[in-house]
Amino acid sequence: MRYYSEILRRKEWRSKSFVKDRFKLTENQIREAIRQGIVRAKFIPNPHGGASITLIHVGDIETNIEKIRKLPKYSKEERFRKYTYRVRGKLRWELGFRCPRCGKYIALKQGSDIFELFWNGEILAKDLRAAIMIGHYIHSHAGYDYDEDLVGYCLNEWIEEWKGGHENYCIKSRELVDEYYIEKAVRMLIEDGMIEGDVDENVKNLVREFLLSSEKVTRNIEAYEIIDFDEEIWPTATD
């Protein structure tokens, strides 16, 4: 009987997540309601360890629901964070480009390492966009992922002979292949009217560091299928 009475008594108190879902309230509204004394709350130890569990008095919520719903949905910090997410998402999208060869829109991915350099003011937008173009062309239109090993193999004999004549200068076939495809991608972009003339070494260094290997390019950029392109539409920002 005591156990049954305890179950009934506990129904007056429900978890914060239950209250949020049941009454369509936000974290900040509940936090403010507790702070202002509109609702009662108690904190109990988490049986699984970690942060304590917050229990809310359901009766207080039901009595003051209209007042609670008028409280701000988000704190100033949360509003700023959501605004920042949106700005970052829009920038990642707008720094991309529509590829004239495949028709896809190439944009920076959430969590992109190269985007963080731009966000922190370490690189220019024009350099970042040029690097994105080169990286996409290398992997999607220049054949880099398909014949790089073959090209390296074919060049090995010539490289060894060249090194033999210049003992103080060493070059790896891997590096030579990489440079070949960077230059090939630049030439293709010039032909397509995407860039004017050669790019400077800063852009090439960005490609080498962030967009040359298949693993890195997959981490940093993504291709989107777009039928009716609209500059004002971009994927929802979540980082």
| Mean pLDDT split into 10-residue runs, the chain, 239 residues | 42 91 95 95 87 92 95 94 94 95 95 94 96 95 65 55 47 72 94 92 95 91 74 47
Q: Which residue reads 């008028």 in tokens?
A: 70
pLDDT tens-digit map of 110-152: 989 999 999 999 999 999 999 999 999 999 998 875 454 555 5
Q: What pLDDT was estimated at residue 153?
A: 57
Indicate left, alpha or beta for 52 from its phi (over 0: left) and psi (-120 to 50: alpha).
Answer: beta
Phi, psi at residue 130, to the nearest 5°? -60, -40
Structural domains present in the chain: 2-69 (1.10.1660), 93-224 (no CATH)
CB-neighbour burial class of residue 225 (10 A; exposed 0-12, middle 13-18, buried 19+): exposed
Q: What pLDDT was estimated at residue 152?
A: 54
**Contact predicate 102/141, CB 8 Å:** yes
C-alpha 57/C-alpha 166 separation (Å) is: 81
Nearest to 113 by CA among 215, 195, 194, 200: 215
Tokens found for residue 164: 């033999």
Q: What pLDDT was estimated at residue 4?
A: 35
Nearest to 38 by CA among 29, 27, 25, 49: 29
Q: What pLDDT was estimated at residue 198?
A: 85
